[in-house]
Amino acid sequence: MPFSDRPGPRIVLVGPPGSGKSTVGAALAERWHLALRDTDADVEATAGKAISDIFVDDGEPAFRALEHEAVAAAVAEHDGVLALGGGAVLDPGTQDVLAAYRQAGGVVVFLDVTLAHAVPRVGLNQARPLLLGNPRARWQALMEARRPVYQQVATVRVLTDGLRPTDVAEAIEAELATIRVARAGSTDEGDA
């Protein structure tokens, strides 16, 4: 089902905490028999510590620099399903990487979710440094700031509220089929 006629990931998933990037990514990877790569895990492996510890020990700018490097490397090297950390899209360099990936035919899926559905998924716990304090208010503020960026970098948007990861995977596959048909139609018109 994924596009395979160009280098790079078959699909990139973006969205806020609790949107299902990791679980949906795992479902897609299993369905498509591809590897799943998560840039948060890449950052932790590079730093040798948890993201929350990077924030405390080194600060958010150091984390964001590691995150940008992880995204750029993953888009260049990985040929499976790629899930980005929730704030990765805020970096202008990462936005450029994703724009080039999309221009080359790649698909970025914005997994959208409302606060009511995100809360049970993430638990709004202390392991998420940007949600410290009032987690619900912080999540809502983050989402209001990030939504336009998610929409800008995405090829398609899929609302994950109330859906199981397999349901979201099926919705993504339907979106990919629509894109494939549209691309085939524009190619046929160019040949005429």
Residue whose structure tokens are 């990936």: 101
Give me Rg for the CA atoms of the chain.
17
What pLDDT, in 10s, does the model give residues 16-33? 888 889 999 999 999 999
> 90: which DSSP letter?
G
What lies within 8 Å, CB to CB, of 168 at 6+ separation is: 20, 24, 27, 111, 158, 160
pLDDT exceeds cutoff 60 at 170:
yes
What pLDDT, in 10s, does the model give residues 60-107? 899 999 999 999 999 999 999 999 998 899 999 999 999 999 999 999
Is residue 2 a contact partner of residue 176, using CB atoms and an 8 Å limit?
A: yes
Q: Mean per-residue pLDDT for 162-180?
A: 94
170 C-beta neighbours (distance < 10 Å), count: 17
